[in-house]
Amino acid sequence: MNVLEVLKVSKCYGPPSDARQVSALDDVTLFVKKGEILAVLGLNGAGKTTLVKILSGLITPDAGVVRLKGVERTSSPRYLKNIGAVFEGNRNIYWRLTAFENLQYFGVLRGLSMKHATHRANEMLELFKLVDKRNVVAAHLSRGMQQRLAVGISLVHSPEVLVLDEPTLGVDIENVLQIVETLTQLSRQGITIILTSHQMDLVEMLADRIALLVNGKLVALETRSGFLSKIDRNACVLSLLENLDTVRCEKLRSLGVVCEEQVLHFPSTSLYEVMDVLRPLQVGSLRCGDEDFTQVFLQRVKEYENV
């Protein structure tokens, strides 16, 4: 069952008459199922933050529809009661309040009664392993704890969809693992999670599906295994010690090679043909096989950028 539907959503920044107008999102359509973890990937400026802010009701799209459990208006109370969000770069917490006071405050802010908010605040402290920090002022918590608290705040009103923009930015590995564990647990309980991240190991650990944005366009929406299988995980990366000439570059492109100054990416099956073209240029290094998620991501982005 789809909890969230995004239909033909577009967003531009700047006045329409201005030549400098930037298209942040272009005709994006996607559906997210209940309990699913969807990772939205892309390079800086690809439109990830715009997309998650539209989903959170923080930005009004120029065109298209976002529907959460049938509710369309993203700024309406019915929509916002079902969504929780943490945005990049900020902890979204009151520094001078304790962990418990923050959770209680935001619980009421999100529509809970004081009694219910108090109960949920205690539950969140347990879920995010912050019970012993209950009465510690947020400014005195470690960065990782502050981030866990911020995620706890976004969940205090029991939303069905959780939107996380870079949830582990600047957080140490121990806290990252705790966040991963909690998010996996929440997903099993039926909470839908949409996250953006530049930490590919986090995406690899968590995501059920991956949405890839390139220059505001949704170019791929696939399961994690599907995303990885689209490219040759035994691909080769070759570094040259000198620049390629145009003729060689064209020949290599016809063989499916992605040329990037002195670095070439190509499937291992083309290895001998590529070497024939390159001869007698000097090769600095050659590595084939064992592509990690980051390299797969970069390769997929390049593939679509070239298109």
Partner 1 sequence: MFSLFLVESKRQWTIFRRYPVEAFAGVLVFTIIFIGLFAGSKYLAGNHNNFGDRLDQVVAGYVLWLVTTGLFAGPGSQLTEDARSGILEQLFVAPHNFTMFSVMRIFSGLIQHLLLIFVVLTIICLITGSQLEYHPAELIPFVGVILAASGLGLAVAAYAMTVKQVGAILGIGQFLLLAFVVTPVASISHWGVWVSLLVPINPASQLLQSELAIGHAASPHEIAAAIGNGIAYFALGAYLLEYSSRRARRLAAIGGF
128 binds partner 1 (CB under 8 A): no
CA nearest neighbour of 30 among 301, 223, 218: 218
Collect contacts of 196-201 with beta carbons under 8 A, ≥24 apart. 196/39, 196/40, 196/41, 196/42, 196/48, 196/49, 196/51, 196/52, 196/88, 196/164, 196/165, 196/166, 197/39, 197/41, 197/166, 197/167, 197/168, 198/166, 199/168, 200/292, 200/293, 200/294, 200/297, 201/293
Dist CA 200 CA 210 (whole Å) = 11
Binding-site member from 30, 46, 48, 50 for partner 1 (CB under 8 A): 50
110 binds partner 1 (CB under 8 A): yes
Question: Given the complex with partner 1, which of 113 and 185 has the nearer CB atom?
Answer: 113
Question: Given the complex with partner 1, which of 112 and 210 has the nearer CB atom?
Answer: 112
13 binds partner 1 (CB under 8 A): yes
Of 52-60, 181-189, 214-222, 253-261, which segment contacts partner 1 by CB under 8 A?
52-60
**3 state SS of 63:** strand
Question: Given the complex with partner 1, which of 78 and 287 has the nearer CB atom?
Answer: 78
Helix axes 143-155, 173-188, angle to 10 degrees: 20
Of 58-66, 121-129, 259-267, 268-276, which segment contacts partner 1 by CB under 8 A?
58-66
Contact set for partner 1, span 150-179 (CB under 8 A): 153
Of 91-99, 179-187, 188-196, 220-228, which segment contacts partner 1 by CB under 8 A?
91-99
56 binds partner 1 (CB under 8 A): yes
Work out how close the CB of 142 gets to partner 1 at its nearest, in angstroms, rounded to a whole number. 17
Binding-site member from 21, 29, 60, 285 for partner 1 (CB under 8 A): 60
Question: Given the complex with partner 1, which of 104 and 215 has the nearer CB atom?
Answer: 104
Binding-site member from 3, 9, 85, 186 for partner 1 (CB under 8 A): 85
Cβ 255 vs Cβ 266: under 8 Å? yes
117 binds partner 1 (CB under 8 A): yes
223 binds partner 1 (CB under 8 A): no
Dist CA 169 CA 155 (whole Å) = 19
Phi, psi of 12 (to 5 degrees): -120, 150
CA distances from 4 to 12, 14, 71, 166, 193 (A): 22, 28, 9, 20, 10
Return the number of other C-beta atoms located less than 10 Å from residue 199's C-beta: 16
101 binds partner 1 (CB under 8 A): yes
Work out how close the CB of 109 gets to partner 1 at its nearest, in angstroms, rounded to a whole number. 5
109 binds partner 1 (CB under 8 A): yes
Work out how close the CB of 86 gets to partner 1 at its nearest, in angstroms, rounded to a whole number. 9
| Tokens read off for 277 | 């073209």
Interface with partner 1 (CB under 8 A), residue total 42
78 binds partner 1 (CB under 8 A): yes
Maximum alpha-carbon separation in the chain:
76
Q: Tell me which residues touch partner 1 (CB under 8 A).
A: 11, 13, 24, 50, 53, 56-60, 75, 77-78, 80-81, 83-85, 87, 89-97, 101, 104-106, 108-114, 117, 137, 153
